[in-house]
A and B are shown apart, each in its own frame.
Chain A
Amino acid sequence: MTASHGVTSAVGARAATGRADEALIRVEDLWHTYMAGTPFAQAALRGVTMYVCPGEVVGVIGHTGSGKSTLIQYLNGLLRPSRGRVVVAGYEVGRSNSGIEAVRRLVGVAFQDPEDQVFEPLVGDDVAYGPRQLGLAVDELRARVRWAMEAVGLPFDAFKDRYTYTLSGGELRRTALAGVLAMRPRVLVLDEPTAGLDPVTRSDVRERLLTLCRRDGLTLVLVSHDMDEIAGLADRVYVLHAGAVVASGPPREVFARPDALAPYGLLPPYPTQVCMRLRARGIPVRGDALTIEEAGAAIAAALRATR
């Protein structure tokens, strides 16, 4: 890992936060049009520039149709740039196939719907799919599958022989995550990792993702429309609207800026909303509270002060 630079993280005491010149992934002026050259042509990205540094948690927020899902596919070379550049660990993604598998190994992507990703009948086989493609020895393979399953909270012995169609929504999501982790990527890109999960499962999955970051030095790119999730996890965020980056920076700054979200129909995290509304009513609370804890403490302090 590189030495720490610049701004310290908003939430938690994580080390390094992004400087463009040490980026692991760099996206420059990227454009994308679906079904180009047909009457159904539709622009999805219009000149996106972003970077992801080692050890960071980067959040990408935006509505459906903002270009998020398209952007993700460029990060591991599923889409190849025809206008703009994508550089992953020094390798420029282009038309050639050489090196593209290395890019896909380096950057693991878990898509939104786990149903699309879990395709083997048994959980253990499914998690082993990726490492098996790498041609690992049996022992190594088994060790990796075990590690990946335990990392997402699926006890190896209890789950490896379970049929995937008998899994609950939360278990299926964990299996999909383990399948990507088993490739041992340096960057994990997650599209709505906790959508549709019940509250307990949701916070457990979040906790485990943070552990992977802190303990194993994994870099995370988190695509989500859950602002509270982004506020709790991300070091930096990019706000995407109609295929362009309209705001970026640490979540505390971006969410507190009235021009960063509201014009695009996005709402800041719940605690931030409450604090901003209170400030508008003339009550002196901080406007950049991100969590229930911060907002609650700020409100209590303000109420005590008026006594």
Chain B
Amino acid sequence: MIGEPLIVCDGVEYGYGEAQDGLALRGVSLQVSAGEHVAIIGPNGSGKSTLARHLNGLLRPCAGTVRIRGMDTRDPAHTRYIRQTVGMVFQHPDSQMVATVVEEDVAFGPENLGVPHAELHTRVREALEFVEMWDYRDRPPHLLSAGQKQRVAIAAVLAMRPACIVLDEATSLLDPRGRADLGRLVAGLRRQGTAIVSITHLMDEAAVADRVVVLGGGLVVAAGPPRDVFGDAERLAVLGLDLPAATALALRVRREIPDFPVDLMSVDEIVDAVAGRAAS
């Protein structure tokens, strides 16, 4: 499922405004392959959102390059193609909807791409059915819950048929049900082969990714499969990051049972590990 690199960031540097002393990104290199799920974590101000906005050319690096399927984001000729290839869902549910009803909003992206009228309808319908919001197609956005708005935002990106979707703290203003819904959608997208880059504060969300990238002070300070990254609890604590609840619980058990495994990522894994040992 995981193929050749879709996104290649190479030594990306970026600073806001005149202040060159405080660069938001100080040489970040990162690859995302087709169909891969990468979680980017880091404390507030570590440069996560700045990096996210480089992935589809909303921001362009001051130094270094970002290539999407080999195309440099600094070349304006590629902008439309890059935006179609890498879609973005943002944090605030209220500032992503352009239109006054759901279906028109989902159509906005493909309309911009010049998709023919007949195909627009199939795309909008497929996208809204995927996020289970087809029944809400004629609702105005202010009558939707935050979770529903975020689902519509995902549909709006899906209708552009992207190869990768970047979720920039898309769940941080949602309640647990909204988060769970979005988590299920992300799992479904991965089954379809869409790559996901999720920027998040929630370690349990990062724990389900193929790879976790930890940013700190504009640099990549750790990267690897969740089990490896979260296995190094002390390092995460230094960076001001939590552990996934399962890992924290496993570590607590290990204080008394020294050979208890700590590379556990979910409720199921904990329950299986404990039950397995109790039986043996």
Contacts and interface: CB of A to CB of B under 8 A. Distances in A.
Contact of A304 (B169, B241, B242, B256): B256
Interface string A172-204: 000000000000000000000001111111000
A225 B201 contact: no
Which of B45, B240, B245 gathers the greatest number of chain A CB atoms within 10 Å? B245
Contact of A198 (B173, B177, B240, B260): B240
A199 B255 contact: no
Interface residues of A, number: 40
Given A64-B175, A225-B175, A281-B275, A201 B44 contact: yes
Given A196-B201, A197-B201, A267-B176, A169 B44 contact: yes
Interface string A268-307: 0011011001100101000000001101110111111010
A170 to B, nearest CB: 6
A90 interface: no
Interface in B236-266: 240-242, 245-246, 248-249, 251-253, 255-257, 260
Interface in A192-244: 195-201, 225-228
Contact of A63 (B173, B175, B267): B175
Interface residues of B, number: 36
Interface string A153-168: 0000000000000001
A28 B242 CA distance: 41
B278 interface: yes
A6 interface: no
A199 B274 CA distance: 27
Given A200-B240, A273-B267, A303-B274, A292 B249 contact: yes
A258 interface: no
A299 B201 CA distance: 28
A200 B43 CA distance: 8
B44 A300 contact: no
A265 interface: yes
A198 B43 contact: yes
A155 B266 CA distance: 39
B271 A297 contact: no
Interface in B122-170: 145-147, 169
A300 B277 CA distance: 11
B147 A64 contact: yes
B189 to A, nearest CB: 23
A65 interface: yes
Contacts of A169: 44
B178 interface: yes
Interface string A63-87: 1110000000000000000000000
A302 B245 CA distance: 20
A226 B171 CA distance: 14
A281 B253 CA distance: 18
A216 to B, nearest CB: 28
18 contacts: A63-B176, A64-B177, A198-B43, A199-B203, A225-B175, A226-B176, A278-B275, A292-B248, A292-B249, A295-B249, A295-B252, A296-B251, A300-B252, A300-B253, A302-B274, A303-B253, A303-B257, A306-B278
Given A274-B270, A303-B260, 15 more contacts: A197-B201, A199-B242, A200-B43, A225-B175, A270-B245, A270-B267, A274-B271, A277-B271, A278-B271, A283-B275, A295-B252, A296-B251, A296-B256, A299-B249, A304-B257
